[in-house]
Amino acid sequence: MAFKRVGSQITSQNPIEYRLMTDNEGCTLGQVLKLSSGRLTSGGLDTDDANGRMFIALKTQAAESTSVTPVPVERISSDVEYEAMSSAQVASTVIGSRVTLNTGALQPTATTAKGVFEISATDGAATSSRVRGYFKS
């Protein structure tokens, strides 16, 4: 399960933006993306990308050799809470810590070095945990 919006501290929602993917790169609904050379990509997300420079894909888009199909995305705000299944166990001791995302930027990990996703809740399941949190820099 990729990232899904579950709540916000404000009542309005960010507008939907339409942007092109990097050539030969597709995306999945709920995947975290960033801009690189004016195009969306999922590669190399870290603390430098948080707060207004990351997006959530609002649809799945197949890779195109020359990207021509705009992808609807929502700009991530630090006041919006998201839920996802982690790629590893996230224990309750990690609540309040910022964790990294897995290689595909579809799931949080339990690794705190250069983390961008601050855990606010976890079920602590042994193999992959259902977690909630906020994207922070």
pLDDT digits (tens, 9 = 90+) for 32-85: 999 888 999 987 666 555 555 789 999 999 999 999 999 999 998 888 999 999
pTM of the predicted structure, to 2 decimals: 0.88
78 touches 98 (CB < 8 A): no
CA dist., res. 86 & res. 2, Å (int) = 9
Question: For 73-105, how does the pLDDT look when each residue is reduced to its tens digit (9 = 90+)?
Answer: 999 888 899 999 998 888 888 899 999 888 888
- Spell out the SS3 assignment of 13-67: CCCEEEECECCCCCECCCCEEEEECCEEECCCCCHHHCCCCEEEECCCECCCCCC
Confidence at residue 9, expressed as pLDDT on a 0 to 100 scale: 74
For the chain, the structural domain boundaries read 15-75, 80-135
